[in-house]
């Protein structure tokens, strides 16, 4: 969702999908992503499609769920016209932005709308992202009662100076109270951490990891800070106000995460994700990585149905206007050719613990990766390509070597 939209083909105003997206649909699961494009302030490192109150250009948080309702109804017509059989949703994910800036009843209404449109598989994972300073016990209780099962909380760091460099507004103490409230409401909790913030030491990263582990959640994500083009963070680094990221330091931090998390009972299942049990993995993210179908609702959201990708206009005002005129909010679509699909399946599949089959991969490339300690030798003998810790640190290089040998 970050950065400009892809080029692609222009989407017809009624949002009709190309022929063939229905083929094999019965063998794929269906999920929904619901984008909530609002934040109180923009963090200096973030280039997600999100808007503060002064950037809304006439669009409004108060009427946002009405806009979503129109797209949800439209998605039903588009899928029906394309001959895609109705499948209940295997997962629903509210992401942002800051979904929890909206009142709980708005998120609940959006959930009811997708439930009415598609149905939801009993026991499906229903997650919302949340910033620690936006939720209360009443808020999470209301979500849990309406069927939400999981909260993904943006902790990022436990260290005030690191949070300040990231422009995070929350008080570190609010993370523990938010996790407690969510657990009391019966929700699973995942914590997002960021490492490699300019000026962050390995000891500070250790403190963040230890604090996150002490909160006793079943899932932790740890992302290396990406310095996105055009962000305030990038400008500060360019002006020399903050140091450049250091790859060696980040590698040490990743290894520390693997070490502390595994000792605390977490297992990695994707390069940046660890869970205590299989049931606590993010089903929704696995759906993306496994190439299933999903509809992404909201401005800038991307969808993927039967191998065709399409994406919505980015600004909430343009999104609302198109829907009010009875048009699809989709800006473009593309159906990647088989070579790009294969590249993508290597890119995504190699990052997960199950890995990918080595059949069809260049044997010289696989042998080279084993020799360099980047993939697991014994698993390769059984035709699976699975990254070692060193390989997880250099996952991009592994993909390059597999695809451009």
Ligand X SMILES: C[S@@+](CC[C@H](N)C(=O)[O-])C[C@H]1O[C@@H](n2cnc3c(N)ncnc32)[C@H](O)[C@@H]1O
Residue among 148, 136, 124 nearest 174 (CA): 136
H-run or E-run covering 296: strand 293-297
By a kind-dependent CB cut-off of 5 to 8 A, residue 42 interacts, out of ligand SF4, ligand X, none, with ligand SF4
Smallest gap from residue 197 Cβ to ligand SF4 (A): 13
Strand (E) positions, 131-187? 150-156
Tell me: does residue 127 bind ligand SF4 (CB under 6 A).
no
Structural contact between residues 220 and 170, judged by C-beta atoms closer than 8 angstroms = no
* Residue (39 or 153) nearer to ligand SF4, CB: 39
Token duo for residue 194: 């960021």
What is each CA distance from 247 to 6, 198, 226, 250, 255, in whole angstroms? Answer: 29, 12, 11, 5, 12
298 interacts with, out of ligand SF4, ligand X, none, CB within 5 to 8 A per kind? none
Q: Find out whether 340 and 291 touch, Cβ atoms under 8 Å.
A: no
Closer Cβ to ligand X, 230 or 363, answer by number: 230
What residue is closest to ligand X based on CB? 154
Strand blocks (E) in 14-62 = 30-36
Q: Which is nearer to ligand SF4, 314 or 384 (CB)?
A: 314
Strands (E), 157-257: 188-195, 219-224
395 binds, among ligand X, ligand SF4, none (CB under 5 to 8 A by kind): none
* Shortest Cβ 132–ligand X spacing (Å): 8
218 vs 300, which CB is nearer to ligand SF4? 300
Contact 97, 35 (CB under 8 A): yes
Site string for ligand SF4, 37-66 (x = CB under 6 A): --x--xx--x-x-x----------------
CA dihedral 166, 169, 170, 172 (to 10 degrees): 40
Answer yes or no: are the C-beta atoms of 153 and 95 closer than 8 Å: no
| Interaction of residue 231 with ligand SF4, rule CB under 6 A | no
Residue 226 binding partner per list ligand SF4, ligand X, none, with a CB distance cut-off of 5 to 8 Å that depends on partner kind: ligand X
- x/- letters, 82..121, toward ligand SF4 (CB under 6 A): --------------xxx-----------------------
Binding site for ligand SF4 (CB under 6 A): 39, 42-43, 46, 48, 50, 96-98, 131, 154
């Amino acid at each position: 969702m970050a950065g400009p939209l892809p080029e692609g083909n222009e989407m017809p105003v009624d949002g009709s999908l190309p022929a063939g997206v229905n083929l094999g649909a019965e063998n794929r699961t269906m999920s929904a992503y619901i984008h909530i494009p609002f934040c109180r302030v923009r963090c200096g490192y973030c280039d997600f499609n999100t808007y503060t109150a002064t950037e809304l250009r006439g669009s409004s948080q108060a009427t946002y769920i009405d806009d979503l309702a129109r797209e949800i109804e439209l998605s039903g017509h588009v899928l029906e016209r394309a001959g895609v059989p109705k499948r209940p949703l295997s997962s629903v994910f509210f992401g942002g932005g800051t979904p929890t800036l909206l009142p709980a009843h708005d998120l609940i209404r959006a959930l009811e709308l997708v439930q009415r449109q598609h149905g939801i598989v009993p026991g499906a994972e229903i997650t919302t992202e949340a910033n620690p300073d936006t939720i209360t016990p009443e808020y999470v209780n209301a979500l849990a009662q309406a069927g939400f099962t999981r909260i993904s909380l943006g902790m990022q760091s436990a260290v005030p100076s690191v949070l300040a460099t990231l422009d995070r507004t929350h008080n570190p103490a609010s993370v523990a109270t938010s996790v407690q409230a969510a657990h009391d409401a019966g929700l699973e909790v995942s914590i997002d951490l960021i490492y490699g913030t300019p000026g962050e030491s390995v000891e500070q990263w250790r403190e963040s990891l230890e604090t996150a582990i002490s909160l006793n959640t079943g899932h932790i994500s740890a992302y290396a800070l990406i310095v996105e083009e055009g962000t305030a963070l990038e400008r500060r680094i360019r002006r020399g106000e903050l140091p450049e990221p250091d790859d060696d330091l980040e590698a040490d931090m990743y290894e520390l995460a693997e070490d502390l998390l595994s000792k605390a009972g977490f297992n990695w299942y994707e390069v940046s994700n660890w869970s205590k049990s299989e049931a606590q993995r993010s089903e929704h993210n696995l759906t993306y990585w496994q190439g299933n179908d999903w509809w992404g609702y909201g401005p800038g959201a991307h969808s993927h149905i039967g191998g065709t990708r399409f994406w919505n206009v980015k600004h909430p005002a343009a999104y609302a206007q198109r829907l009010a005129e009875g048009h699809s909010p989709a800006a473009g679509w593309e159906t990647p050719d088989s070579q790009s699909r294969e590249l993508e399946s290597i890119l995504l599949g190699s990052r997960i613990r199950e890995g990918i089959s080595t059949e069809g991969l260049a044997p010289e490339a696989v042998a080279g990766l084993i020799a360099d300690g980047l993939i697991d030798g014994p698993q390769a003998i059984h035709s699976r390509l699975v990254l070692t810790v060193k390989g997880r640190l250099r996952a991009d290089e592994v993909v390059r070597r597999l695809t451009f040998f």
